[in-house]
Amino acid sequence: MQDDRPNAATAVPSAGAGRSSGASASAPWRSRIESVGVCLPRRRLSTRELMAACPAAADVDLEGLTGIRWRRVCSDDEDSHTLARDAALDCLARSRHRPGNVEMVINCSITRYRGRRDLNYEPGVSFVVKNEIGAPDALHFDLSNACAGMLTGVLILDDFIRRGVVRCGMVVSGESISSLSRNAIGSVEGIASPELASLTVGDAGAAVILERNAAGTPGITACDLVTFAEYSDLCVARPCPSGPGAVMHTDAKALHQLAILCCVPAVRRALERSGTAWGEVDWVIPHQSSERAIREGTRYVSSQLGGVPKHIVYNLEEYGNTSSTTHFVALHGQLREGRIRAGEQVAMLSFASGLVVGAVVFTMDHLAEAHARTA
């Protein structure tokens, strides 16, 4: 664990604990992203439709505030398990690996729904997924770290690969989280309502395969996540008293302000380990919370680190905040459209409740061409 104290000028009052891995650690291997898969629910729900069910918040322009126009929501035959499984199958369909090559499966979803009402914690989603994709001998476990879940899974799997414990593994998540919106509709009364952030979420599944590569080759060069648990009460989910699922109360303004203040040291450290400056990053994929938050956060980080990244990825207009899957849904879209090219530097930034901030930095390689062929 490490002590990460932001500069006193940021006025962040206390320190966080973190985990990191990267090029500076002595290891004979590096991990690379070999394949990315996604599963999106069939149904699209517009922000206009959603807000029409909130008459008490008729004066709230949620689309204007967030940039979110649509989100995907699960139908009756879709849930956390089916999204995770189908994303994993999509990932394998784009991979050169057979299911039996997958030696570890890490599920990172917040939600564990079987159907619309039942939360299923045992057996874990990772156990179900590994068996349904045909990798019954893979090591498996589930973890939850709010919207930083998949990046946390990548950090852990990267460590296993760099130390030579496994050669190939999968990080997966299926988020059927739109029940938060359904449960918040009757409570939102205005822009200051703590349930308002619940109306930004959408459902999605995502999966990524990491494989062993020789040190010094393109791939993941740093993973650095830091937790500031003293701010965990800024976003809290509890069982919904009136129906299935949860309710979430968020102090969105405070959470956003603290996230951008706290993230700078972790992002700086990840870039230093990668031998990359902030202004040399080709693609930044931030957590997709709101367009305004992303723009303000990018400006602040740029003012502290110097330079401006070439591209900032936004996909929330179409998908909203898909929680732990957000970074890989966004990456999948950029690869499908042929935007990211081999040799370019990519930084995925975590801004998650908890409070969890940091970055995963990697150099794109032939994944870009391989993914385009299977799109």
pLDDT tens for 278-293 read 999 999 999 999 999 9
pLDDT tens for 104-140 read 999 999 999 988 777 788 899 999 999 999 999 999 9
Task: Please report where in the chains the tokens 């305004």 appear, as a residue.
Answer: 292
Dihedral sign from CA coordinates of 47, 49, 55, 59:
positive
Residue 14: which residues within 8 A CB-CB, separation 6 or more? 228, 230
Bond from prior residue into 355 cis (ω within 30 degrees of 0): yes
Assigned token pair, 374: 């299977």
| Cα 75 from chain centroid (whole Å) | 22
Residue 131: which residues within 8 A CB-CB, separation 6 or more? none
The pLDDT of residue 266 is above 70 = yes
Rounded CA separation 204/111 (Å): 11
Give this prediction's pTM.
Answer: 0.93
Share of the chain above pLDDT 90, in %: 81
pLDDT recorded at residue 244: 81
Q: How confident is the model over 65-81, as a mean pLDDT? A: 97
Assigned token pair, 372: 């385009």
pLDDT recorded at residue 251: 96
CA angle 187, 193, 199 (to 5 degrees): 70
Cβ 57 vs Cβ 266: under 8 Å: no
Q: Where are the domains of the chain?
A: 2-374
Nearest residue to 240 (alpha-carbon basis) of 197, 175, 187: 187
CATH class of 2-374: alpha beta
Phi, psi (deg, nearest 5) at residue 75: -85, 180
Reported for 140-145, long-range contacts at CB under 8 A and 24+ positions apart, including other chains, are: 140/104, 140/105, 140/106, 140/107, 141/106, 141/107, 142/106, 142/107, 142/108, 142/109, 142/112, 143/106, 143/107, 143/108, 144/108, 144/109, 144/110, 145/108, 145/324, 145/352, 145/354, 145/356
